[in-house]
Amino acid sequence: MPSDASPSSPAIPAGPPSPAGRAGPAGLAGPAGLAVAVPKAPGVTATPTTPSVQRARVPMGNPHATVISAVGVSKRFVAAQRKATSFKEWFVRRSSRGPSEDFWALRDIDVQIGQGQTVGLAGANGSGKSTLLKVLAGILRPSDGEVKVTGRVASLLELGAGFNGELSGRDNVYLNASLLGLSRREIDKMFDSIVDFAELAHKIDDEVKHYSSGQYVRLGFAVAVHVDPDVLLVDEVLAVGDEAFQLKCLAKIAEFRAQGRTILFVTHSLGLIEDMCDRILVLENGEIIFDGEPAAGTKVLRQHLGSLPSEGPVPHDLAPVRPTKLTFARDPGGSEQVQFDPGEPLTISVTLEAVEGAPEVVYLHAYVLGMHEEPIWLMETTGGIPLTPGTETVVDFTVPAVPPLLGAFAVSVHVSNAWTGEPVTIRRFDDLFGISGPQSGGLLSVDYEARPRV
């Protein structure tokens, strides 16, 4: 079943996901997600254990060595009211402890991550992915089980954590890198490169408190990626900064990947995981429910998220991004029509109106729905769609050849924040389009023969 969405203009990079091998369980096209221009390094394939060619910088002989190992890791958070937080309480309330109200953020996690793997950690809010990252980073102690991480760890849990506003950018770079385990000589060597990457050569001797939030974050990221980490742990930090810098960050991560460093990142953006990871870990209620291929893992996660929506999106007429109009035509910009024959091209155009507070970049899922609201196929934008508040953006989903279906179909448009993956709004349009397949009944026309067995 062809199910491609192709771009109407080069400005909206909604390229068709390759249909082969991406087809999902319900005949839905696999999402290609956020295809930002990340240069994939030559010679690196997306299988977990393939050694990369450019490992020269990483001082490690065995590419299959386990770098991150967690065995039976559990993390329990003790309910705050049960814990004495002062000596006074400790004396006063010793005997009057209530029953346990502990919360298990992680339960019995077993993960081995080999050198050079890029692993995405995904899951709904509160599924434990950030906790797992902190445990692996050595910041939280697991209540049970064992964690071992080999090599220098750079954790981007928050960019610029530990910067002191009173000090100059230069001093902060030295201090921060020193905290991460670098010697002065090593920092000296990298200093210019850090400043260049952060694009802050003109301000590096100013106090950090006079930096804009974007400059602050840029410097933080620049330090973290220049400390020559063996293991990079990233938590959602790429959701900050302007788009150009985000692309730069992603390119840097891709470069790390090519160099055979181990990367583990938490993100809500499933597109990013499909794009950049060799492997995905899906967490739910502190347990790993999927470990394997990103394409399969994101599907599992989407199903789980779909069945248990954590928070419903805002009604479409109140959301910061409003799908206002839906039209059908043969070609992008062509005259509207609602009846199509199988094999004809079809363009479904969605008009988005962005108001104040809209995310800078969104992605769309468009479900084509049958008469009982069952999804017939799914189309996703492959790249983020940049929006400007106060303007309208038209997104065209182009199907080169309409499948041989019979009936009238509706379209439901889901808008999500491209950086966080959070749903923004959903609109199911009432507009219908028809496909007049040659069959006399049934949804799909299939080649068949009917004859008595001889």
**Contact footprint for other proteins (CB under 8 A):** 59-60, 77, 84-88, 90, 134, 137-141, 149-153, 155, 157-158, 161-162, 164, 166-167, 171, 174-175, 178-184, 230
Give the H or E element holding residue 88: helix 87-92
Instruction: Give the nearer residue to other proteins in terms of CB position, either 54 or 393.
Output: 54
∠421-425-429 over CA atoms, to 5°?
130
Instruction: Give the nearer residue to other proteins in terms of CB position, either 138 or 343.
Output: 138
Instruction: Give the nearer residue to other proteins in terms of CB position, either 21 or 61.
Output: 61
Instruction: Give the nearer residue to other proteins in terms of CB position, either 19 or 138.
Output: 138
Instruction: Give the nearer residue to other proteins in terms of CB position, either 235 or 275.
Output: 235
Q: Name the minimum Å distance from CB 96 to other proteins.
A: 18
The CB density around residue 84, as the number of other CB atoms within 10 Å, is: 13
Q: Name the minimum Å distance from CB 102 to other proteins.
A: 12
Q: Name the minimum Å distance from CB 180 to other proteins.
A: 7
∠215-220-225 over CA atoms, to 5°?
125
Instruction: Give the nearer residue to other proteins in terms of CB position, either 60 or 406.
Output: 60
> CA–CA separation, 341 vs 324, rounded Å?
27
**Residue whose entry in the numeric block shows the structure tokens 């002989």:** 61
Give the H or E element holding residue 258: helix 243-258
Q: Name the minimum Å distance from CB 281 to other proteins.
A: 20
Instruction: Give the nearer residue to other proteins in terms of CB position, either 184 or 210.
Output: 184
> CA–CA separation, 363 vs 383, rounded Å?
7
Q: Name the minimum Å distance from CB 370 to other proteins.
A: 49
* SS3 state at 220: helix
Q: Name the minimum Å distance from CB 49 to other proteins.
A: 18
Q: Is 23 exposed, middle or buried (0-12, 13-18, 19+ CB in 10 A)?
A: middle
∠126-130-132 over CA atoms, to 5°?
105
∠124-125-127 over CA atoms, to 5°?
70
CB 276 within 8 A of CB 120: yes
CB 363 within 8 A of CB 385: yes
Q: Name the minimum Å distance from CB 158 to other proteins.
A: 5
Q: Name the minimum Å distance from CB 86 to other proteins.
A: 4
Instruction: Give the nearer residue to other proteins in terms of CB position, either 157 or 394.
Output: 157
CB 412 within 8 A of CB 386: no
